[in-house]
Structure 1
Amino acid sequence: MTKVQEIPLNQIRRPLPRENDQQKVKALMESIQEIGQQEPIDVLEVEGQYYGFSGCHRYEACQRLGKETILARVRKAPRAVLKMHMA
């Protein structure tokens, strides 16, 4: 089951480092400031911990805007699913 909710940015772990396109981040920052975050990021909830693997640009844009939370589509998953994402 997936649900969309606001999650504190500092509770999302991003285990796979990624180099973001700074122009895209800047454009998203402007858009989020003007009209808010339109598209939630996807996170896995495993044993009460949140893991983000997508939405890197939206995540960084919200972070740089000083937002406390981010809109996320949360999917509960067992540790085995998390391991598949890490492979």
Structure 2
Amino acid sequence: MAYFTVPFPSRLRSFSVSASSNGSPPPVGTSQSQTPGPVILELPLDKIRRPLMRTRANDPNKVKELMDSIEEIGLQVPIDVLEVDGAYYGFSGCHRYEAHRRLGLPTIRCKVRRGTKETLRHHLR
């Protein structure tokens, strides 16, 4: 699996990203929203909503270990993000997200899947 980085300006008000899960453009006559499967994107931390943060606590030792690892070899496993109507919601990777935040890194590698508002409601239950 190939990974790529998309640099973003530090003061970003709005943005759009297009990518495919296998690195090739979508077939002619289809839009990105019709392309199945997740895509790997580097997203700004401040654009990822963390709806479960208020209910989950991070293990400080695990966060510290991840910070050390990320500084040494980089993030090895992207966090999972659900994209609904242009907004990004993170539901896994709490420790990896927190390690990036504490390191002051502006972006994080994400496995992004598209979803609907109903999918989002299901995750919030």
TM-score of the aligned structures, taking structure 2 as reference length? 0.69
Tell which has more relative contact order, 1 or 2 (C-alpha 8 A, sep 6+): 1
Unaligned segments of structure 2, at least 5 residues:
1-36
**Which structure would you say has the larger Rg?**
2
Partner residue, 1:37: 75
Aligned-partner SS, 2:75:
coil
| CA–CA distance in structure 2, aligned partners of residues 27 and 14 of structure 1 | 21
Cα deviation for residue 53 of structure 1 reads 0.9
Compare the two structures and name the one with the higher helix fraction: 1
Q: Give the one of 59, 83, 106 matched to 1:68.
A: 106
| CA–CA distance in structure 2, aligned partners of residues 12 and 66 of structure 1 | 15
Cα deviation for residue 41 of structure 1 reads 0.2
**Deviations 1:12-66 (Å, cap 9, x if unpaired)?**
0011122000000000000000000000000000000000111000000000000
TM-score of the aligned structures, taking structure 1 as reference length? 0.98
Moved over 3 A (4+): none
Identity across matched positions, percent: 59
Over aligned residue pairs, what C-alpha RMSD do you find? 0.5
Aligned-partner SS, 2:77:
coil
Count how many residue pairs are aligned between Structure 1 and Structure 2. Answer: 87
Compare the two structures and name the one with the higher strand fraction: 1
Partner amino acid, structure 2, of 1:9: L
Q: Give the one of 95, 99, 102 matched to 1:57.
A: 95
